[in-house]
Structure 1
């Protein structure tokens, strides 16, 4: 009888604890001045990134980058971070930055995860995971933006000076695909309107590789008709007056074309003139979703 009572008491405590964990929040739970009553909403959700094959994911555990098998939860080192850190330091990166990058969840791998794209000193570097060799791909004063691997991993694409470039990772030889980029012409790089209103804040890339790595589709934006908008940047310590291309209601938007650049061709990239919102690229064809325009008043 005593044993039955103990079991019943244990079950009651379990049910009470479960109920307490799942009870509805009250005003006191949220705003109480008593820290013992107030619910602590602090903390960060666990961050992870799936591997290219979808069979595992990488995650930070105890300050190290690991590969986790979702089937059983087993974690193994994702790469030799010590060797990677040494290579980064030899390239001129500080010990602190090298340590942080060598165990970063945001490492940019190629699809086979045999190489990592590194940005250091405003230039692009290629790290071979197997050999531990870090090779410099670019060496210019200008910054390379929106860099990405081609699907086959043989090329790196990027935007410099609002022009689209590729570089051969085997020979570190770059080639310019567009030549009319400048203050008013953006090739493969989104302006304020297309980033903010169409592709989403923080998405500046305006180009896409074909699956066979033979071509790149890109947007060419002409900002000439867009009026300048003056604003004050008061986030920085010393306020700065900025002039940016920004169409207010009723103002003209940028003129947009779709360009096709062939990786193997020597001729300039060609462009068409649809007004497009989305691109879906196959090996030989581009599907363009156009925005309907009504001229009726």
Structure 2
């Protein structure tokens, strides 16, 4: 649930929130992806990446390779091996390289580690933060002039002078629950906020968040496996209905170390600030503030020298307002144009997710006009007067690249008139000349080509996606379909039929479900139709495997589709799923006595609700890491989509699986990790108690000290897959009848 909605098979590639995660071992996979990422040169005519332990550059369009940083340069004095480069940043003047290595996991991502600086003029390699614990530095970044590096360590913000390596603490009050320069658990999970400080344009100040998690209660997980005596693992976790951790936006003077608080209006324990950046070439800061319900957004400008503020724009919504991580790669950065006098903003205020241009007085101009959603802003090409974005007006399951003029004088234009049908994603050079284009569909594995973006033509004929597709023999194993429910709702889905399918026979059908606002399962991208929890091939074994997406999932089908679920999670989404399955059960080749459903996290919650609320349609369910009681989940996610339980508690109760557990008639396998910091194990025990109370028989598998992804520990994934497969085969036997 929340920001990382654990699914387990594939990634739609727009942004990490709108993705269904290819996730057997999440952090390992993310590490691999990050290692493969490219970094564009400033002029956009080359890109760099880590390759075979070195940093190399490729010039475009020739793809001429040059080794920029050798293994020798990356080897510390006296060391036998070079540093393993997890990430790297070049200083603005190109004279120094900041290297991130020895990374360690913090909740979801490996965001703390060691940092080194390589002086490219002298080849001197020096470690930062000497004297601080190993792998304790976070989010290190150069000052604008490259003379210093700031970082967070153990919840305090530090600045290190690169000439003297003298370290200055800008904060000293940091603790596990007084957090400077980064965030508490729930900000990270639900707003994707991790890096919590910013250098000023002149390099004289640093603005940062301070999160006071002392104001909220710890949730205590219990570790029974790592020592003879058990111990608590505390998480600063505000449950739904509990006030958020109050924040401050502070500005520290690097020279004096003095800090000044920005006087942002509103109660900091009843509001959120998910975005904060400096306005270019000024001493001003711009922030986005959300109210507790997240249905009012304010854009506020702060004077960093005085702390005074003014609100330039206020937006409201009857449901909720999404933040930047819905339509960009991360919540960081601000989309500036005209040297900081204007910026781009995204809103659903007219019923569709559109791009607006806004100046510093709050005056807006709508750029993307029409009944369609933008999905992802890919590039602002100010020099040529365009903004590039992805979307899919004709088919919400697919993704294509478009551009529109920054002055608002044109309608959207497809960048490739004959783009292949499916999911197209792009990494575009800063000058708008080149791009790495990736394509896949449900039936076509991922292909990549380097292109001249203006003509959308491959740089070499050999890597042309069009050429590859012309000779490819496509196995159309995944079929898409639509059904109209008795409520008049058009539901889209996919299915994979058994090998040697015979329409005169009846087959068991297994549904994968998610069903909440964090993810969609029905997308025309490769990985659709695969089940990473099943040992073997479901189609060869004689199953129909399928999925449908209900209202409330984040498809680009307009605001009304996405927000129909407001205050009705566990009700609207569950009915849409069940009513679609009701229609599918009418297909002559579906064995209505063998219908199963499974899901993880929010999908686990949906699985439980489907079994409990619509037992006439499903005989078997396998639910993993589910929220059994909505009152047990975190405040940012649950209040965003459900409101405040102090005002409409009945909606939380009505949408919770435990409320309907007494109706269980079929076969239920429930699985949960006892060390789950996201969806706490207490959900499992509350659900079990309710099932026991009503003498409902079920099977249960707790995984000791495993987190939400249930992958830690030797043999865990093999055991989980075997358990899943055996239970499904036993209770929903495969094969035609």
Structure 2 length normalisation: TM-score? 0.30
1:231 correspondence with 2:230:
no
Quote how far apart the aligned CAs of 1:215 are.
1.3
> How far did residue 235 of structure 1 move?
10
Q: Kindly tell me: are residues 232 and 211 of structure 1, through their superposed partners in 2, closer, same or farther at Cα, counting changes over 3 Å?
A: same
Match of 1:152 in 2: 145
Asked if the contact 2:277/2:285 (under 8 Å) is kept, the reply is: yes
Q: Alpha-carbon deviation of 1:109?
A: 2.4
Give the direction of change, closer, same or farther, for the CA distance of 1:137–1:65 in structure 2 (3 Å limit).
closer
Question: In structure 2, what is the Cα distance between the partners aligned to 1:189 and 1:291?
Answer: 18
The answer as to 2:127 corresponding to 1:128 is: no
Residues 82 and 161 of structure 1: CA distance in aligned 2, closer, same or farther (over 3 Å): closer
Deviation, structure 1 residue 253: 1.1
SS at match of 2:87: coil
Look up the match of 2:284: 285
Counterpart in the other structure of 1:176: 169
The offset of 1:255, in angstroms, is 0.8
Which of residues 102, 106, 109 is equivalent to 2:90?
109
Paired residue for 2:210, among 192, 207, 220? 220
Query: Which SS does the other structure have where 1:78 is aligned?
Result: strand
Check the 8 A contact 2:95/2:121 in 1, yes or no.
Answer: yes
User: How far is 1:60 from its partner?
Assistant: 4.7
Task: Indicate which of 71, 83, 87 corresponds to 2:72.
Answer: 83
Which residue of structure 2 lines up, in the alignment, with residue 29 of structure 1? none
SS at match of 2:186: helix
Q: How far, CA to CA, are the matches of 2:225 and 2:143 in structure 1?
A: 37
SS class of match (1:193) = helix
Distance 1:56 1:172, change over 3 A: same
**What is the CA distance between 1:277 and its match in structure 2?**
2.2
Give 1:160 shift: 2.2
Which runs of structure 2 are paired with 1:17-28 in the superposition (5 Å)? none
CA contact (8 A) 1:146 1:159 kept: yes
Residue 226 of structure 1: how far off its partner (Å): 1.1
SS at match of 2:144: coil
Describe the SS at the equivalent of 2:189: helix
Alignment equivalent of 1:256, drawn from 237, 247, 263: 247
Describe the shift of the 1:74–1:234 C-alpha distance in structure 2 as closer, same or farther (beyond 3 A). farther
Q: Which residue of 1 aligns with 2:156?
A: 163
SS in structure 2 of the partner of residue 196 of structure 1: helix
1:158–1:165 CA contact under 8 A, matched in 2? yes
Residue 196 of structure 2 is aligned to residue 197 of structure 1? no
Against the structure 1 CA distance between its residues 131 and 235, is the aligned structure 2 distance closer, same or farther, given a 3 Å change threshold?
farther
Aligned residues of 2:186 and 2:237 also touching (Cα < 8 A): yes
State the Cα deviation string for residues 1-41 of structure 1 (Å, max 9, x = none): xxxxxxxxxxxxxxxxxxxxxxxxxxxxxxxxxxxxxxxxx
User: Where does structure 2 lack aligned partners over 5 or more consecutive residues?
Assistant: 1-31, 103-112, 265-270, 294-643, 648-737
Alignment match of 2:200 (pick from 207, 210, 216) = 210
Deviation at 1:223, TM superposition (A): 0.7
C-alpha distance in structure 1 between counterparts of 2:91 and 2:49, whole Å = 18
CA distance in 2, matches of 1:126, 1:251: 43
Rounded to whole Å, the distance in 2 between the matches of 1:230 and 1:116 is 41
Give the CA RMSD over aligned residues: 3.3
Per-residue deviation, 1:230: 2.0
Write the mapping of 1:50-65 to structure 2, written as runs, cut at 5 A: 50-60=40-50, 64-65=54-55
| 2:57–2:65 CA contact under 8 A, matched in 1 | yes
Q: Secondary structure at the match of 1:279?
A: strand
User: Partner of 1:24 in structure 2?
Assistant: none
* CA–CA distance in structure 2, aligned partners of residues 206 and 251 of structure 1: 23
The corresponding residue for 1:8 is none
Which contiguous aligned blocks of 4+ residues in structure 1 show a shift greater than 4 angstroms? 43-46, 60-64, 119-124, 232-241, 293-297
Contact kept? 2:54, 2:71, Cα under 8 Å: no
**Partner Cα distance (2:88, 2:57) in 1:** 13
| SS of structure 2 residue aligned to 1:195 | helix
Q: Secondary structure at the match of 1:249?
A: coil
**Larger RCO: Structure 1 or Structure 2 (Cα < 8 Å, ≥ 6 residues apart)?**
2
Query: In structure 1, how many angstroms separate the alpha carbons of the residues matched to 2:119 and 2:287?
Result: 36
Distance 1:123 1:197, change over 3 A: closer
| Deviation of the 1:124 alpha carbon | 4.3
Q: In 2 relative to 1, CA 240–75 (structure 1 residues): closer, same or farther, beyond 3 Å?
A: farther
Structure 1 residues 55 and 237: alpha-carbon distance in aligned structure 2, compared to 1, 3 A threshold: farther
TM-score, length of structure 1 as denominator length:
0.70
Counterpart selection for 1:270 from 237, 249, 260: 260
SS of match in other structure, 2:187: helix
Residues of 2 paired with 1:272 and 1:63: CA distance?
44
C-alpha displacement of 1:219: 0.4
Q: Which residue of 1 aligns with 2:178?
A: 185
Could you say if the C-alpha distance between residues 47 and 170 of structure 1 is closer, same or farther in structure 2, counting changes exceeding 3 Å? same
Paired residue for 1:21? none
1:237-271 CA-to-partner distances (Å, cap 9, x unmatched) read 999741111011111210101000112224x2122
Q: Is the 8 A contact 2:74 2:125 kept in 1?
A: no
